[in-house]
Amino acid sequence: MEVPFNVLDRQFFKYQSEYEQKVLEVLRSGWYILGKEVQEFEKEFAKYLGVKNVVGVDNGLNALVLTFRALGIGEGDEVIVQGNTYIASVMGISMNGATPVFVEPDEFFNMDMKKVEEKITSKTKAILVTHLYGQASNMEKVIEICKKHNLKLVEDCAQSHGAKFNGKMTGNFGIGCFSFYPSKNLGAFGDGGAIATNDDEFAQKIKVLRNYGSEKRYYNQVVGYNSRLDEIQAGLLRVKLKYLNELTEEREKIAKRYINEIKNPLIKLPKVRENATHVWHLFVIKYENRDRLQEYLAEKGVGTVIHYPIPPHMSEAYKYLNIKKGKLPVTEKYAETVLSIPMYNGMKNEEISYVVEVLNEFKG
Ligand SMILES: *Cc1c(COP(=O)(O)O)cnc(C)c1O
């Protein structure tokens, strides 16, 4: 049997007629940028998250870039971020001229809050937490640290749509930055992103920045960006948002089967923190000789991906930071041992069973 790592057409076909109808509606409306669909999506997603404002933007990276720009964080400032995050989180910081300062992850792959305070200097302006793989980070602890040291809190929610900490959704604690890249839990059919905030003034600043720095057409207050979410993607996201809880439950069912049925002592399964929920953007296992396991699974027809093989501090792009190999041992170890196995909406029961069976037969 062949089980691909991910297939995106199955989730499309599930609500095909609604998506197709929505695209036709937008095409026929004659209005394609910043119109009713974006406005309505912003309202509906804000309601879903339980946050006052959502501002749609063009992608997840720019949600972060605009957020740090609007916070006035740039040249000479430092932002604390976890070492094992997706590199876009780090780019959101450095594209504004600020310096990323890396903290090691904990056993849940999220920021190890015990190691944050030792990284704070007089230059530190903010903490960026990524709710990595779909699990909410320890927000209680990070909020305490931010209050104590007067730091801004930004959440990278690109993988955590709907995940909760203490019953409250991610994106609600600090400024929430979302991606709607097609493979994300709330994925569009192209690029998209959003910023969530309870601060009305901050939301207004983002609205100005995303549209050439203008509130009123042709009156430009600042040098801004073209970072708008378009009407077709917003319309499609409105359709998918109605089913997001259902889609999350489907992922939870797959995760539950993996956790209950994978019984190979060689393989380490992911753990979920007390008070946190996991929306299973990715199901990440660990094995000492990961490359061997990946090869074995490929031979058996099971697709896998490594999230991520090169931590940001060791990538070519961040060579200038001059952080040597060995400085972030937990991060580096994860990069060598993590492996993501198939997890997606529309995965069939027999496919899940096959992945389980093949993993249980793995002898090392
Ligand atoms: C996907 C992702 C991003 C970037 O989002 P894009 O929409 O692809 O720009 C940022 N951070 C994390 C953690 C992501 O997974």
- Residue-by-residue pLDDT tens, the chain, 364 positions: 999 999 999 999 999 999 999 999 999 999 999 999 999 999 999 999 999 999 999 999 999 999 999 999 999 999 999 999 999 999 999 999 999 999 999 999 999 999 999 999 999 999 999 999 999 999 999 999 999 999 999 999 999 999 999 999 999 999 999 999 999 999 999 999 999 999 999 999 999 999 999 998 899 999 999 999 999 999 999 999 999 999 999 999 999 999 999 999 999 999 999 999 999 999 999 999 999 999 999 999 999 999 999 999 999 999 999 999 999 999 999 999 999 999 999 999 999 999 999 999 999 9
d(CA 154, CA 134): 16
User: Domain 9-242: which topology?
Assistant: Aspartate Aminotransferase; domain 2 (3.40.640)
Question: Looking at ligand 1, which residue's alpha carbon is closest to its atom 6?
Answer: 60
Tokens of 315: 């990538």
- Ligand 1 midpoint to CA 234 (Å): 17
Check if the beta carbon of residue 262 is closer than 8 Å to that of residue 284.
no
Name the catalytic one among 184, 205, 240, 286.
Answer: 184
Residue 184 annotated to the active site: yes
CA distance 41 to 195: 12
Closest ligand 1 atom number to CA of residue 193 = 7
Measure the CA–CA gap between 30 and 225, rounded to whole angstroms: 24
Q: What angle do CA 329, 334, 336 make, to 5 degrees?
A: 95
Q: Which helix or strand (DSSP H or E) is residue 79 part of?
A: strand 78-82
| CATH (residue range 244-360) | 3.90.1150.10
Residues of the chain with CATH 3.40.640.10: 9-242
Angle between helices 231-242 and 16-29 (to 10 degrees): 150
Residue 178 alpha carbon to ligand 1 centre in Å = 8
For residue 192, the ligand 1 atom closest to its alpha carbon is 7
pTM above threshold 0.85: yes
Q: Residues of CATH 3.90.1150.10 domain(s) within the chain? A: 244-360
CA of 142 to the centre of ligand 1 (A): 21
Let me know the angle formed at the C-alpha of 82 by 189 and 106, rounded to the nearest 5 degrees.
110
